[in-house]
Structure 1
Amino acid sequence: MKVSTLQPLLLLIILSSSCCLSANAGAHAAQGNHHEINQFMVVATSSLKHIPDDAVCSGHKVMPSRNSTAWVPMNRPHGPCSSSSSRATTVDKGVDVDDMLLWDQLRTSNIRTQLSADVGSAGAGVPIIARTTKVSNQDYMPASQAAVGQNSGTSKSIQKSDQTATGEHHATASQTVVVDTSSDIPWVQCLPCPIPQCHLQKDPFYDPAKSSTFAPIPCGSPACKELGSSYGNGCSGSTDQCKYTVNYGDGRATSGTYVTDTLTMSPTILVKDFRFGCSHAVRGSFSDQTAGVLALGGGGGSLLEQTAEAYGNAFSYCIPHPSSSGFLSLGGPAEASSKFARTPLFKNKHAPTFYIVHLEAITMAGKRLGVPPATFAGGAVMDSGAVVTQLPPAAYAALRAAFRSAMAAYGPLAAPVRNLDTCYDFTRFPEVKVPKVSLVFAGGATLELDPASIMLDGCLAFAPTPGEESVGFIGNVQQQTYEVLYDVGGGSVGFRPAAC
């Protein structure tokens, strides 16, 4: 029997540029410098810049949980740990926070529309709890790569040899992709992929012609029908190949052929017949020279759905500060019950892609804000791509008033930045005292935020939703350094602090 060689689709996993640009690049380095005074944290002002001039990559803080499944490293694309752009390029071009926040508004508005479709404006307020059969986790080895089957023959500079548990050797190469928990169709740019229909990427384009395990999905097949009207794009008459399209609602889109190949998350863990989009045309920018999107939503076709039986219907990630590295891990760690604070996971039956949780309270400087739990009845989407946390207007108003009072020494307020209306000019202050803020979820799970998760480029990193009943968002700025476990099989979301 002929043994096919493999070349990877996914190796280094990073977050989308808009979500990642919101990170506070100096916060990791500053954590060892700031000290706590009662319910305040004193931190160097330079660390509150989203891209500090002196940031240096410090690598991983900790490895993923001991018995976690396949994992891959995850970095911010514009920080010093990123492999997608040079440090010099990042500093020279800077980051337009205003544009990033505009993208964030478009993204969250589109998700909010999907959640409220066909069920009225209150649809997101009555989510259906996800309770699927939980598969027992296995013992897994850590992974250092993710791959799609493809014969060798690309640039030798990115090839290496790995060995599987069966002793078969496979040549591998890397593709850098974007993590997205609010979409369902994974995809990568594939040849033929002419510019400008496709965008430049740092890794060689995936070439189906070089893969012995590649196969187009035929029209009329269950996998093609599963795309439905949301992602289906008809068929190719001459070849009877299934076509897909994904419109992200923020101006970005991809289209091409729906295919299968072998996805490798480590030398010993393979996902055969992995379904993904072979993209021949892309609209808009997904990140700096990345190859595509790794979709981890709760709907059909996502990586989670395709690996649910094998990996316990769970995954986790740790979003790092740009000066450190995070990770993405398939499956739930064996010690999850003792290491993670849990909150119930809910799903909207009309839009199962999205992961919904419920806040119960917010504390600032050790005091609980006077916001009734019912204020948060609309729920909030846990989203890897949303930038800042969006709260119901009444909750945001209470948070803003308390924060402005605590920061009165640094007034007057500076001009707003897009939807961030509580901003400060810290140029006269070498260090600032920031009040502690914590988000308290249903069940008591609490996110205790560090300064870089409270302020974004001198502004309070929270915003109001369009209305009191509108679904909110837990942004990736607030998720930083926590391992966030999406235990869909167990119906909960877990938080483990100081994981990256």
Structure 2
Amino acid sequence: MPDDVSLSHCEGAHEERERKEIDSHTIQLSSLFPSSSSSCVLSSRASNTKSSLHVTHRHGTCSRLSSGKATTPDHSEILRLDQARVNSIHSKLSKKLTDRVRQSQSTDLPAKDGSTFGSGNYVVTVGIGSPKHDLSLIFDTGSDLTWTQCQPCVRSCYSQKEPIFNPSSSSSYYNVSCSTAACSSLSTATGSPGSCDASNCVYGIQYGDQSYSVGFLAKEKFTLTSSDVFDGVYFGCGENNQGLFTGVAGLLGLGRDKLSFPSQTATTYNKVFSYCLPSSASSTGHLTFGSAGISRSVKFTPISALTEGTSFYGLDIVGITVGGQKLSIPPTVFSTPGALIDSGTVITRLPPKAYAALRSAFKAKMSKYPSTSAVSILDTCFDLSKFKTVTIPKVTFTFSGGAVVELGSKGILYPFKISQVCLAFAGNSDDNNAAIFGNVQQQTLEVVYDGAGGRVGFAPNGCS
């Protein structure tokens, strides 16, 4: 009899251990920090899919902007700018809500991790003009107008790595008249109506951190890959640009407005694009246009009605699981403010009650690791200096339509230094502010945007 008891006890312990392995990630702490290697691992997806670009870390060894040497980003500045972006998104959405109350071809670009107008964004290289001029652009699902700095810099241009585009050296460039429908539609794409300068259309766009670009609305040839070339793409040729874009030449707008790049190339790609954000500074992800190569394991969720009429891709979050346990969060916590996915927001923002439940469950599962002081917007931090590996609970989001998305192991922690590694989520200050699914949480996932089908999808292991 005692043998039976000890046997069942052993089996119980074994099952408990197996369950823990299923519900947690064990990772090498060294993998959370940039390696000193100057090598660059290219995404096979970007290399082998026709309409695909390599995506790189703005500060990483793979970036055209870093000359093969990884640079250490200023994390405090990244988080400060991230909060500015989030404030801007919430302000746009609240304005929108107030206003309301009264198989196709495919192209794959590699994604590089850049900087949210100087912080946590991702960068791709696009050819502009004839002959083509390769330029590094931040790609942004929360913006619509694509623009680049242009000669002459009438007032000022910020410092960029590549030569500034000179429209007079391109045979395919021409300015757009201010009497055109495209000029009239600037107000929805940029938030500011177009104006006239000698009958040419002038655009102006300002971002949440006060960065801006002003110049001519123009049409030009865009070359993604040798087989994916588009004539007459509307873009902003910025002759007065200021802000925290340092290094990059401009921005590729992937939002939902008719002036966005997916809308302008809809006859080719049917408003479908996907990306995988790389999990390290020494690897690339991809930005792929069209439906070629999309994983069969993608789980889709409908784009939420909350963001209709905005640039943003809305999501409906219905639940969060930590370490295999579903958090008890009333459905109205998510449904009242809604949620969206944004490639340019770094840290995922949750409604206060949802964040409190996540933080509490995460801390309970991390009780063996000593706590340490908060940094900026991140208030749940650990001192891991005495450990070589760390076991963290898995975090899973469930979206409407039954899409269950398990975050990659790199999508849960934000490392400042080994003695200060923080939970990579933050709470909104107000119950009425939308949740934002940010780019740390998106790392290594294949994220699919099907604009025509009105849905967003997720699959694991998207960079390989």
Q: What's the TM-score bracket when you normalise by the shorter of the two chains?
A: 0.7 to 0.9
Deviations 1:372-423 (A, max 9, x none): 3332112211100001111111111111001111111112x21111111001
**2:240 corresponds to which residue?**
281
Change (3 A) 1:72 1:373: same
1:76 has 2:57 as partner: yes
Question: CA separation in 2, counterparts of 1:88 and 1:268?
Answer: 31
Normalised to the residue count of structure 2, the TM-score between the two structures is: 0.85
Please give the root-mean-square deviation of Cα atoms over the aligned residues, in Å. Answer: 2.5
1:47 to 7, 31, 51: 31
Question: CA separation in 2, counterparts of 1:485 and 1:141?
Answer: 13
Deviations 1:184-220 (A, max 9, x none): 11000111126x8112222221111111111000111
Contiguous gaps of at least 5 residues in structure 1: 1-35, 124-135, 152-171
1:397 has 2:377 as partner: no
Cα shift at 1:335 = 5.6
**1:102 corresponds to which residue?**
80
1:325 to 260, 280, 284: 284
Question: CA separation in 1, counterparts of 2:99 and 2:425?
Answer: 22
Question: CA separation in 1, counterparts of 2:390 and 2:109?
Answer: 41
1:137 has 2:104 as partner: yes
**2:344 corresponds to which residue?**
385
Question: CA separation in 1, counterparts of 2:309 and 2:376?
Answer: 28
Question: CA separation in 1, counterparts of 2:355 and 2:201?
Answer: 46
**2:228 corresponds to which residue?**
269
Cα shift at 1:342 = 0.6
Alignment of 1:181-330 (within 5 A): 181-193=141-153, 197-228=156-187, 230-236=191-197, 239-286=198-245, 288-321=246-279, 322-330=281-289
Q: 1:76, 1:320 within 8 Å by CA — same for their partners in 2?
A: yes
Percentage identity across aligned positions?
A: 35
Question: CA separation in 1, counterparts of 2:393 and 2:449?
Answer: 29
**2:424 corresponds to which residue?**
461
Question: CA separation in 1, counterparts of 2:430 and 2:239?
Answer: 39
Q: 2:54, 2:109 within 8 Å by CA — same for their partners in 1?
A: no
Question: CA separation in 2, counterparts of 1:466 and 1:121?
Answer: 23
1:497 to 443, 449, 460: 460
Deviations 1:460-482 (A, max 9, x none): 00011122232010010000111
**2:9 corresponds to which residue?**
none
2:136 to 176, 189, 197: 176
Normalised to the residue count of structure 1, the TM-score between the two structures is: 0.79
Contiguous gaps of at least 5 residues in structure 2: 1-19, 111-124, 416-420
Question: CA separation in 1, counterparts of 2:50 and 2:429?
Answer: 39
Question: CA separation in 2, counterparts of 1:425 and 1:95?
Answer: 20
1:147 has 2:153 as partner: no
Change (3 A) 1:89 1:266: closer
**1:19 corresponds to which residue?**
none
Q: 1:182, 1:353 within 8 Å by CA — same for their partners in 2?
A: yes
Deviations 1:256-312 (A, max 9, x none): 1111111122222222110000011112112x4111000111113110111122211
1:231 partner SS? coil
**2:91 corresponds to which residue?**
113
Q: 2:278, 2:285 within 8 Å by CA — same for their partners in 1?
A: yes
Question: CA separation in 1, counterparts of 2:26 and 2:96?
Answer: 48
**2:434 corresponds to which residue?**
471
Question: CA separation in 2, counterparts of 1:209 and 1:64?
Answer: 32
More deviation in 292-301 or 437-446?
A: 437-446
Question: CA separation in 1, counterparts of 2:99 and 2:196?
Answer: 35
Cα shift at 1:347 = 4.3
Q: How many residues align?
A: 421
2:90 aligned partner, one-letter code = R
2:143 aligned partner, one-letter code = S
Question: CA separation in 2, counterparts of 1:121 and 1:270?
Answer: 38
1:99 partner SS? helix
2:82 partner SS? helix
